[in-house]
């Protein structure tokens, strides 16, 4: 983890640049190992991160049942979980591959269960157990590829919804546009909505906020 040992000397913008320069999940794991304790401060105060609020609002509009069991995919420190709770959702599980980020999320007492797992492989979870899933900032540079969509959909009950952000820069490059089109054409999902939104207040829209419904 020595690559990021000087993380305390970086400002918020520099840390975001590091995150966007990641080339692999292994590099991401190293970054979050050191960044977890100050992640919320950098993202919310330093960068005015509004992505979690945007995607939680999209799910809240689509899902009236506030007792629905929701999986927060790539939950990190629990920023999305905070907004879900504010919307009244009471049954939320979180999944992430970073133990350090999960430790921060656990301190917030928002989640029914926290699951350490790697989205770039198969998940050791039963089929069709969640009413909904949500993800913000996970489908981005050097993190998780389009192959994870199938695994997340496997976990959803028929009619379940998945609200997620996909960074514009990897929409085509990482195969998201193709895989979503294939899933839609094959009758697996309906793409209910796709919105262009900024991840950070005052910046250009680089988040594709998608609402997928499992058929």
pLDDT score recorded for residue 35: 95
pLDDT score recorded for residue 112: 98
Residues 59, 46 contacting (CB under 8 angstroms): no
Distance CA 179, CA 60 (A): 25
pLDDT score recorded for residue 4: 44
pLDDT score recorded for residue 6: 76
pTM of the model: 0.95
Domains and CATH numbers, the chain: 51-214 (3.40.50.150)
pLDDT score recorded for residue 25: 87
pLDDT score recorded for residue 9: 87
Low-confidence ranges of the chain (pLDDT < 50): 1-4
Distance CA 4, CA 29 (A): 11
What is the tens place of the pLDDT at every residue in 6-59? Answer: 788 899 999 999 999 999 889 999 999 999 999 999 999 999 999 999 999 999
Distance CA 83, CA 60 (A): 10
Neighbouring C-alpha atoms within 13 Å toward the C-beta of 61: 11
Distance CA 56, CA 186 (A): 27
3-state secondary structure of 211: strand
């Amino acid at each position: 983890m020595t690559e990021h040992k000087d993380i305390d000397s970086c400002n918020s913008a520099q840390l975001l640049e590091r995150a966007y320069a990641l080339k692999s999940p292994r590099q991401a794991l190293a970054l979050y190992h050191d960044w977890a304790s100050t992640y919320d401060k950098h993202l919310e105060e330093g960068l005015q991160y509004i992505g979690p609020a945007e995607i939680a609002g999209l799910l809240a509009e689509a899902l009236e049942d506030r007792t629905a069991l929701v999986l927060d995919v790539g939950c990190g420190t629990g920023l999305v979980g905070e907004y879900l709770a504010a919307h009244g959702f009471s049954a939320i599980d979180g999944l992430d591959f970073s133990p350090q980020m999960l430790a921060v999320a656990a301190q917030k007492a928002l989640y029914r269960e926290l699951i350490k797992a790697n989205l770039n492989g198969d998940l050791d979870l039963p089929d069709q157990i969640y009413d909904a899933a949500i993800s913000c900032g996970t489908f981005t540079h050097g993190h998780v590829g389009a192959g994870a969509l199938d695994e997340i959909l496997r976990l959803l009950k028929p009619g379940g919804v998945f609200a997620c952000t996909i960074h514009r820069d990897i929409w085509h490059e990482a195969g998201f546009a193709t895989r979503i089109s294939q899933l839609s054409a094959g009758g697996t999902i309906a793409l209910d909505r796709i919105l262009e939104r900024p991840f950070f207040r005052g910046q250009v829209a680089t988040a594709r906020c998608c609402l997928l419904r499992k058929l």
